[in-house]
A and B are shown apart, each in its own frame.
Chain A
Amino acid sequence: MAANNSPDKGTRNLVIGMVVFIVLIGVIFSFISNKSSTSAAIPASVSESDGYGIVTNPEVKPQVDIYIDYQCPICKDFEIINGGYIAELVAAKKIKMVVHPMTFIGVESILAANAAACAADEGKFLDMNLALFQNQPASEGSGLWTGDYMKRLGNSIGIKSEKYDKCVTDGDYVNWSRNVAQASADANVNGTPTVMVNGKELYRKKTNNDPKDEYMDPVQFRAVLAAAGVK
């Protein structure tokens, strides 16, 4: 037995060593690839002090922070229910809107966030935001959203610019999307949609029968904004 024992022990220790090594590399890679970077290119309408969100009407109060992932179906529901009203308020300069496109659902969320930022540089963020939700694939990570798709979507809302196409193709704002993710994490955003009015999160229903639901009941949503001074 003794003769057999030592090579076996060697194999065992080698396996343990390899597993630990691979996993350490993996951990380090996870940290590095998701670190936010102060040198990341950011769109002109993005404010670092507002958590790297895309800002519309920077001088206005109250501030409405909207954390979404363009692949998130409930975010689409929120957009359908309250998006029209929000767009009205933004157009009338009654709120400062800060949209934080998070990217935790996957690669296509990064493509979408990048395209939204590219569109923001063309002054078309609101249209692109709506177009992304309107064209949200039926399932997450479907493979439908590609760089070419984002170019066509931009063209369809009237962006005719080589700069936009290049921005989408080159992924100019991919690094920025990590900054958004990091800042959203620091703001303790643990699900989407998360909406804050002047920094206070809307009430999310606690049970199915909870009558209070400031996200999906448009009357309650409007009441929150009214209480924050929107006339």
Chain B
Amino acid sequence: MPSKSELIEKFFKLQPWLTLLSRLILGGVLLVAGGLKVGNPQKSAMSVRAYEVLPIDIANFFGYVLPWFEVAVGLLLLAGAAVKICAVMGGATMFIFIIAISQAWARGLSIDCGCFGGGGAIDPSETKYLSEIIRDIAFLALAVFLYRFPKGRFGLDK
């Protein structure tokens, strides 16, 4: 059984690599999620409207902007530039997704989260809120880690 200080030392040796891994996962997911949606803003706007939270105009606005926002944060995380800020933005996005999906679930809406380009009202049998929420919580955890340890391997931040 290694002592506590040995474990801490080990963690700090590993941390730059863990930061790199977190950046690649969170950045990659955001880039893919955004990239799948940028080509179809109509659908993206529809999936934001389907949550039935925001007024129509504002929902449409977010539907148009969100995919590009995800692409930007994703690219910067992959490049390792402005990691701390991107961690806050990526984490906030995930937090909002978790709230939005949870309220849809609680209100009994039948929608696809629209996370990767689907979206809108769907058949009740096709909803998968729990797995969507768990997935987003995992991404949120990565964002929190990146906020705490933004400096890692192969990043542009110095």
Is residue B60 contacting chain A, with contact meaning CB distance below 8 A? Answer: yes
Given A204-B121, A206-B124, decide whether A30 and B38 contact each other with a Cβ distance below 8 A. Answer: yes
- The answer to whether B68 touches A12, judged by C-beta atoms less than 8 angstroms apart, is no
Looking across the interface, which residue of chain B has its beta carbon closest to that of A206? B108
On whether the beta carbons of B81 and A12 are closer than 8 Å, the reply is yes
C-alpha spacing A104/B44, complex, angstroms = 9
A100-B156 Cα distance, complex, nearest whole Å: 49
- B82 surroundings in chain A (CB, below 8 A): 12, 16
Is B151 located at the chain interface by the 8 A CB criterion? no
Cβ of B81 and Cβ of A15 under 8 Å apart? yes
A103 on interface, CB distance cutoff 8 Å: yes
A20 to B68, CA, bound (A): 10
* CA of A103 to CA of B43, assembled, Å: 9
Structural contact, B79 and A8, CB atoms closer than 8 A? no
Binds A, one of B5-13, B45-53, B92-100, B135-143: B45-53
Q: How far is the CA of A33 from the CA of B39 in the complex (A)?
A: 11
- Chain B residue numbers with a CB within 8 Å of A205 are 124
Interface pair A208/B71, CB less than 8 Å apart? no
- A205 and B120 CA atoms in complex are apart in Å by 15
The distance from the CB of B123 to the nearest CB of chain A, in whole angstroms, is: 7
Residues of A within 8 A of B68 (CB): 23, 26-27, 30
Q: Is the beta-carbon distance between A31 and B64 smaller than 8 angstroms?
A: yes
B56 at the interface (CB under 8 A from A): yes
Q: Does B158 contact A (CB under 8 A)?
A: yes
Least CB distance, B2 to chain A, in whole angstroms: 33
How many angstroms from the CA of A33 to the CA of B40 in the assembled complex? 10
User: Digit string of B53-68 for contact with A (CB within 8 Å is 1, else 0)?
Assistant: 0001000100011011
Interface SS majority for chain A: helix
* Measured CA separation A205–B68 after assembly (Å): 34
Interface string of B69-109 (1 = CB under 8 A from A): 10110011001011000000000000000000000000010
Q: Which of chain A's residues 5-63 have a Cβ closer than 8 Å to chain B?
A: 5, 8-9, 11-12, 15-16, 19-20, 22-23, 26-27, 30-31, 33-34
CA distance A27 to B72 in the complex (A): 11
Q: Are A19 and B75 in touch, CB under 8 angstroms?
A: yes
Per-residue CB contact flags for chain B residues 10-51 toward chain A (1 = under 8 Å, else 0) read 000000000000000000000000000010111101110110
Q: Please give the distance in Å from A76's CB to the nearest CB on chain B.
A: 14
Q: In the complex where A9-B158, A15-B79, A106-B40 touch, is A190 in contact with B124 (Cβ < 8 A)?
A: no
**Contact indicator A23/B71 (Cβ below 8 Å):** yes
Contact A11 B124 (CB under 8 A): no
Which of A16, A106, A204 gathers most chain B CB within 10 Å? A16
Point out residues on A near B: beta carbons under 8 Å. 5, 8-9, 11-12, 15-16, 19-20, 22-23, 26-27, 30-31, 33-34, 74, 102-106, 181, 185-186, 188-192, 204-208, 210
Beyond A12-B158, A15-B156, 6 additional pairs, beta carbon < 8 A: A15-B76, A30-B38, A33-B41, A34-B64, A102-B42, A104-B40
A selection of 23 A-B contacts at a CB cut-off of 8 Å is A8-B158, A9-B158, A12-B81, A12-B82, A15-B81, A19-B72, A19-B76, A20-B72, A23-B69, A26-B68, A30-B38, A34-B41, A34-B42, A74-B123, A103-B42, A104-B46, A188-B49, A189-B46, A190-B111, A191-B50, A191-B111, A205-B124, A208-B125
